[in-house]
Amino acid sequence: MKDLIKLKELDHEIYLLSHGIALLQWDQETYMPESAVNERSEQIALFEGILHNKLTDSIWGELFANLSVDDHSIPEKFNNNDNAFLREAYRRYRRKIKLPVELIKEFSAEVSISQSKWIKAKKEDNFSIFAPHLEKIIDFSRKIADLVGYTEHPYDALLDEYEPWMRSSGIKSVFDKLEPGLRSLIGRIKNAPQIDSSFLDHNFPVELQNQFGKKMQKEMGYDFERGRLDLTVHPFSTTLGYNDVRITTHYNKNDLLSGIFSNIHEAGHGQYEQGFGEDIQGSLLANGTSMGIHESQSRFWENLIGRDINYWANYYPELVKIFPDQLKYVSMKDFYKAVNKVEPSVIRIEADEVTYSMHIILRFRLELALISGDLSVKDLPDAWVAESEKLLGVKSDSYSNGVLQDIHWSAGLFGYFPTYALGNLYNAQFTNIMKSDITDFNLCLQKGELAPIKNWLREKIHRFGSSVSATDLIKNISGESLNPDYFLKYLEGKYKTIYDI
């Protein structure tokens, strides 16, 4: 047991150091002066190098060997959490030792600079500012994929960082089944009379939006004594410690819904991180099962709760009190239809829940082509426009609203995008079971009593962290593997009623 204890001690150092790096990154995205970016990139690169050295120290290999842990087996003599810890720690070690520390440091430094260039390029609507840095990010990603190894596609080595054990062929299979159903529903909605949401074309003061947003977050179970809300260019959540789970958002005075759903979405992520069981705190198991499962939690709250008519039966009267001049003549039913308006648009983070997954399919296809070399960076903007017209029937009028709209590529997150759509599929399948377990589900929403929902998520999903794989988690809860039909059935049932189709 002493070898296992030593491994846990080493892992806890990794846990603390990684949160220190996250603090530097959070500060860069929120409060850091713009001119500090170069030194910040050096700081992050230095700490990433130290972290990588710790992760690849030969003592890990010695301790795993002492415990008879290898690529094929983990001893049966440990309890479930210890077995899970050894599985995940060994998996991480095997991946990290394949990557030279200098590559990690260089990649981290480039990411820090690339993010600042992406912000500048987006502000100035100038893709050429970011393009050379994107080329470097892609080169680094290919090197990492080659070093980590893969059997089918280099993208698989990158995808595995965010959705363990899944391959791009599996993603493609799921998306190929999802796309026709979405196309059919989108086509029928296009032919139906459109919902009038013109009453939302008002000035909604940001400070009042923030007041309402924090109220929603608190009541859905996000603990402000263990977290905080700040503003950023691109909303995100991050964990800096067991009792320090932070979320960010953005507001637009002329777009009430953007702020509302950004707040709900990020609080869903934060609530997940705050819900890890005490038995796994302080270790690598205190992480999301996968990014697809993480996204299932944020998008569950954003869409299956936040766009439910029963939810607004409770919250809409409060919203009218905050914005009486703008909403006093708008019925709750009309507002509910407005928040569920389906209209293909160029912006992913503001997309409705029917068209959103098409945005992800677009990015997944472009990422595959970029990593394989079938698509060059210089041709990326045109390819973006072509795929957008094909999947969504819309064409961006600028780089900022098109190829530059997301932060992910500047952050080196190739392989991350598919997890958003997987999150939609996971949460629909989870919710199917949740509604049978919580028999008064709709009544809870109408009364604003969200604790039973949060508690179900804690018991069934949150507390396990990464001690259970996504494949096992979905099977344990629903009794079957990931199935896109649940999501398509949910959308069909809801939007047939809203659009009378």
In this structure, is the dihedral angle defined by the CA atoms of residues 32, 33, 34 and 40, taken in order, positive or negative?
negative
**Token pair recorded at residue 309:** 């008519």
Say how far apart CA 408 and CA 88 lie, in whole Å: 25
Q: Is 255 helix (H, G, I), strand (E, B) or coil?
A: strand
Asked if 12 contacts 69 with a C-beta cutoff of 8 angstroms, the reply is no
Say how far apart CA 465 and CA 293 lie, in whole Å: 10
**In terms of Cα–Cα distance, which of 224, 95, 209 is closest to 150?**
95
The single-letter DSSP state of residue 304 is I
**In terms of Cα–Cα distance, which of 357, 371, 343 is closest to 488?**
357
Catalytic one of 29, 88, 266, 273: 266
Q: Where are the beta strands (DSSP E) in 101-193?
A: none
Asked if 154 contacts 167 with a C-beta cutoff of 8 angstroms, the reply is no
**In terms of Cα–Cα distance, which of 203, 271, 263 is closest to 230?**
263
140 Cβ neighbours under 8 A, 6+ residues apart: 103, 106, 107, 110, 412
Say how far apart CA 181 and CA 484 lie, in whole Å: 10
230 φ/ψ angles, rounded to the nearest 5 degrees: -135, 170
Say how far apart CA 175 and CA 187 lie, in whole Å: 18
Say how far apart CA 342 and CA 284 lie, in whole Å: 40
Q: Other CB atoms closer than 10 Å to residue 209's CB: what's the count?
A: 24
Based on the residue annotation, tell me whether 266 is a catalytic residue of this protein.
yes
Asked if 129 contacts 180 with a C-beta cutoff of 8 angstroms, the reply is no
Strand order across the beta sheet in which 229-231 lies: 229-231, 244-249, 237-241
| DSSP code per residue over 187-232 | HHHHTSPPPP-GGG-S---HHHHHHHHHHHHHHHT--GGG--EEE-
Asked if 185 contacts 491 with a C-beta cutoff of 8 angstroms, the reply is yes
Active-site residue set: 266
